[in-house]
Amino acid sequence: MVTFHPSATALEVRHRHEILTLQAWGADSVRIRAAQYRIPAESHGALGTPPPSPAPRIDVAVDHASMVHGDLTVTVDFDRSAAYPEPLLTFTRTSTSAVLLAESREHFWLPGARVFHGNRSGAYEVHQQFAAHPEERLYGMGQRTHGRLDLKGLALDLVQRNGEVSIPFVLSDRGYGLLWNSPALGRVEFAHNATRWQAGQAREIDYWLTAAPTPAAILGRYADATGHAPELPQWASGFWQSKLRYRDQDELLAVAREHRRRGLPLSVIVADYFHWTAMGDYRFDAGEWPDPQAMVDELAELGVELMVSIWPTVSPLAEHFAHYRDRGLLVGSDQGVEFHQTIQDKHMAAPMPVAFYDPTNPETRAYVWERVRQGYRDLGIRAFWLDACEPELNPAHPANLTLYAGPGAEVAGIYPRDNARLFAEGMANDGEAEPTVLLCRSAWAGAQKYGAAVWSGDIPATWESLQQQIRAGLNLAVSGIPWWTTDIGGFHGGDARDPAYRELMIRWFQFGVFCPLFRLHGDREPRTPTSYAQSGGPNEVWSYGDEAYGIISGLLQLRERLRPYIHRQMRVAARTGLPPMRPLFLDYPDDPRAWRTDDAFLFGPDLLVAPVARAGQRAREVYLPAGTRWRDAATGEVHDGGTTVEAAAPIDRIPVFTREGADVPLTDDKGEAA
């Protein structure tokens, strides 16, 4: 027997041991929770207070109930003729009655659509299954290395890894967006016979679904539910210079001074890892960085921000290690000691185990920020690179972690989000009026509201990798993170003397200038094993020969001209949730080809960018979405939308088109394109 218990904003459904709740959660949106016996009082997901919206209409009958909430209708049906009946949900668009998503049983007998396998701890392995539609297209789910934009047919691990950012939000061309609001370790299968979400250990099933009228509006509802990104600070839209490691203050300043001497724009320069005395101390090593205040001051005079790399690792040789350990500020272990990575840090003759601080603990967040304030913030540093924040485990067993928020198996997904929260809260509590940019290697749903930007991790320096970055960045944008970048040129490898690699570097720069953040980084040849002694090969814009330098320096100037346009797009992103770098379908949802285009993207509404990602390629086809006309930025030729054109791509440019009537400064005062 099923019973229905309506209230002003929610419907509770009870059947046997299960409680199922449907709650209005923003316009055209609902939150669904299901658990055995009771809904947990605490949630570590991304949903806080429901956004305002009109009250839903709830109707209840004997074996049927419905909730109508704007253009989303959720029905609950209980089929008594089934061998083991259970209440099943169907989501439809109110205005058209079109089915968006519907639960389906894993088996006609048992189990059902919502499965709870107990593990004798009070938690469960949970499954949530929906009916599949073979022609459905699915996008989002964070940033992955599979090289696909459309996720249909893929199975994806819900685990944070270097280069694999798990944000469990998916947007469907059927007209809905769904957030799997569980940070538990798990898996999702977008198969042709079913869509199934799985968590290995969880207390409940928890997801949010919206049926906003357009893909762009879906992202707006998602931002309303999980948090809007702050606006991009003015300094962050320019060029960021980095290499594997500038070993000391003199090296770093010499690069900044050379940019000034050459008349090259520079907004950010990075002091990467091992600039510290020990992991967890969060201060400069005076032997290599004797006067960091003078360094910060000189960079400020040059108009350059200093960004420092901060890892969440704590060395047993750190000054305050005992405090971290004894106050319970470190990530624990379900089995074994509290060390989860090995690295050769300062004062180590060989790689040694290091621990991770626990950002899910509010006391940890306060304590680490105090260390950061004393070591960096008091110098005027306000840009932080949160590296290895998945966290990067060795061995990669996140289920073995124990955190303040709960067992790693249940909550490990939120580690990078709460790590960003640590720095955002610290800056805000110190009265910093302007939000910072937190360059993170990982994120989870809601991280955007803390100013988290993401880069695509330690990727190889190959053409295949460049191809993958285009789709990876677009899916991350659909997942709610508007600020994204790559290591231009790739991270692992690349010889600045090699003509073949120089071509790749040029093409990557031409892609990177149209990414939300514009950043050069990498571990170039000659490479050495990871330790405090490494530096990496040259990786400045003048390192790649005269031809590459001429092209790249022009791209730096192009970026300067684009910055006002970029900030307009970032204001839109902060207000509406619409990312500046985005798939064509977000602006042209009525064009079927726009949903299938995965090798080009929009940069704001006025620019269509078609990267070149193959060696030796000097032309490529570009699809121009229907609904407007497009002007080739290089030739001035105007083309009708809904057509495919063959665009020239000589080594000094990639195809870029402007929307007819748009005014974007792609050329310099002489009328020459970069």
Query: Which residues are tagged catalytic?
Result: 387, 390, 458
Nearest to residue 616, comparing CAs of 649, 656, 657, 655?
649
State how far the Cα of 177 lies from the Cα of 138, in Å rounded to an integer.
Answer: 9
Nearest to residue 634, comparing CAs of 609, 663, 654?
654
Secondary structure (3-state) at 576: helix
State how far the Cα of 94 lies from the Cα of 75, in Å rounded to an integer.
Answer: 11
CA 72 to chain centre: 28
Q: Which helix (H) or strand (E) holds 355?
A: strand 352-356
Q: How many CB atoms lie within 10 A of CB 401?
A: 24
Secondary structure (3-state) at 319: coil
State how far the Cα of 583 lies from the Cα of 598, in Å rounded to an integer.
Answer: 7
Q: Where are the beta strands (DSSP E) in 85-136?
A: 87-93, 99-102, 114-118, 124-130
State how far the Cα of 320 lies from the Cα of 136, in Å rounded to an integer.
Answer: 53
Q: Using CB atoms within 10 Å of the CB of residue 469, give its burial: 0 to 12 exposed, 13 to 18 middle, 19+ buried.
A: buried
Residue with tokens 């910060």: 296
∠ at Cα 407 (402, 408), nearest 5°?
Answer: 75
What residues contact residue 461 under an 8 Å CB cut-off, 6+ apart? 489, 490, 491, 492, 493, 494, 501, 504, 522
Residue with tokens 């459904």: 13
- Beta strands at 268-271 and 305-310: parallel, antiparallel or unpaired: parallel
State how far the Cα of 442 lies from the Cα of 440, in Å rounded to an integer.
Answer: 5
What residues contact residue 38 under an 8 Å CB cut-off, 6+ apart? 19
Output the CA torsion sign for 599, 662, 578, 30: negative
Q: What are phi and psi of 145, to 5 degrees?
A: -105, 15
**Which tokens is 45 given?**
């997901």
Rg (CA), the chain: 25
**Which tokens is 14 given?**
């009870």
State how far the Cα of 343 lies from the Cα of 171, in Å rounded to an integer.
Answer: 39
- Per residue, what are the HEC states of 444-489? CCCHHHHCEEEECCCCECCHHHHHHHHHHHHHHHHCCCCCEECCEC
State how far the Cα of 285 lies from the Cα of 282, in Å rounded to an integer.
Answer: 9
Q: According to DSSP H, which parts of 327-414 are helical? A: 362-375, 408-411
Q: Using CB atoms within 10 Å of the CB of residue 542, give its burial: 0 to 12 exposed, 13 to 18 middle, 19+ buried.
A: middle
CB 41 within 8 A of CB 32: no
State how far the Cα of 452 lies from the Cα of 439, in Å rounded to an integer.
Answer: 6
